[in-house]
Amino acid sequence: MRLWSIHPKYLDAKGLTALWREGLLAQKVLVGETKGYLNHPQLYRFKETRNQMANIGTYLYHVHRESLRRRYSFDSKKIGDSRSRTRIEVSSSQVAFERQHLLSKLKTRDSTLYTKICIIDEFDVHPSFRVVAGKIADWEITK
């Protein structure tokens, strides 16, 4: 399960579609509708919030907005509560890690997009997050 901290505008079609599916899976996990992925590290950031369903719903809402911008047909009816104003902390090192991880994927998968975004030194983060320096959470993946 990959729930990107970076803004979905940087993802290619395959990445955005996968993010949508995995976000919906995360929503099912949090509501107790599935038995898999219960303790996945990328769910910790949502589990540790006061209103996890609103936070994952808001996360999906922003993924859906990006899909509309691209004229995709993701079904917004699948999103639960999406009224959270909470911004979850993500470390700058996690954002940098995700930038490099995405660029390595795009280099072979979508060279046009790779060329367009590889010149960006710092990616914007998903609107559900806010960047903090030097703090690495349990759910974060680092090298």
d(CA 114, CA 117): 5
Instruction: Quickly state the pLDDT bin for 56 (edges 50, 70, 90).
Output: very high
Helix spans in the chain (H): 13-31, 41-47, 52-69, 92-109, 111-117
Mean of pLDDT values over 69-85 = 93
Q: Are 74 and 64 in contact (CB under 8 A)?
A: yes
Per-residue pLDDT, 6: 97
Instruction: Quickly state the pLDDT bin for 124 (edges 50, 70, 90).
Output: very high
Prediction pTM value: 0.90
Mean of pLDDT over the chain: 91
SS (H, E, C) 109-132: HCHHHHHHHCCCCCCCECCCEEEE
In the chain, where are the structural domains located?
8-132
